[in-house]
A = this chain, B = another copy of it.
Amino acid sequence: MSKADEQTRLYFRMFNEIGIINQLSTNKLARVLPHGLSVAQFSLLNHLVRLGGAWAPSRLARAFQVTKGAMTNTLQRLDAQGLIRIVPDPTDARGKLVEITESGRRMRERCVRATGEVMADIVRLIPADDVRTMIPLLEHLRKTLDDNR
């Protein structure tokens, strides 16, 4: 096997590990989330609380790297549960703006607590240094993939 092939294998392996970790972690978190709330939905509530303000669906789709269609779906489900409010954008008749509701804030708190317990297990088992080492490398990889989309 050539050197280049070996290198390619290395990169494939990294993506493979990443895929499995994503699946395992998503499932782990989903299992403790209040019934009916997906990890994607929780992440969205979290995003709205942490960053605050009103967000256009298109901006949220870009932030989460999903298609507009997927974001429409997520937002409709959250809206149906009264966890967010969707209002027309006063400055652009095409657009809408998404805000979290009080009920959404409470739900997000519940989710933070629920996932916190799971996360505590993981924190105990994975050295924080490992995480601190990986984050900048992952970030660079993510940005690179994103730029060359």
Q: How many copies does the complex hold?
A: 2
A118 to B94, CA, bound (A): 36
- 1/0 per residue, CB under 8 A from B, across A1-32: the answer is 00010011011111111111111111010000
Asked if A43 and B23 make an inter-chain contact with CB atoms under 8 angstroms apart, the answer reads no
Task: Report A108 CB to chain B, min CB distance, Å.
Answer: 13
A16 surroundings in chain B (CB, below 8 A): 43
Query: Does A142 reach chain B (CB closer than 8 Å)?
Result: yes
- 1/0 per residue, CB under 8 A from B, across A68-110: the answer is 0000000000000000000000000000000000000000000
Question: CB-nearest residue of chain B relative to A65?
Answer: B20
A81 to B8, CA, bound (A): 27
Asked if B130 and A21 make an inter-chain contact with CB atoms under 8 angstroms apart, the answer reads no
Most buried by B among A17, A126, A139: A17
A14 to B127, CA, bound (A): 13
A141 surroundings in chain B (CB, below 8 A): 17, 21, 126, 130
Q: Looking at chain A, what size class is its interface with the partner chain?
A: 35 or more
Q: Do A25 and B145 contact each other (CB < 8 Å), given the known contacts A13-B135, A134-B138?
A: yes
A140 to B133, CA, bound (A): 13
- 1/0 per residue, CB under 8 A from B, across A104-140: the answer is 0000000000001001111101101011111101111
A137 to B14, CA, bound (A): 10
Question: CB-nearest residue of chain B relative to A21?
Answer: B142
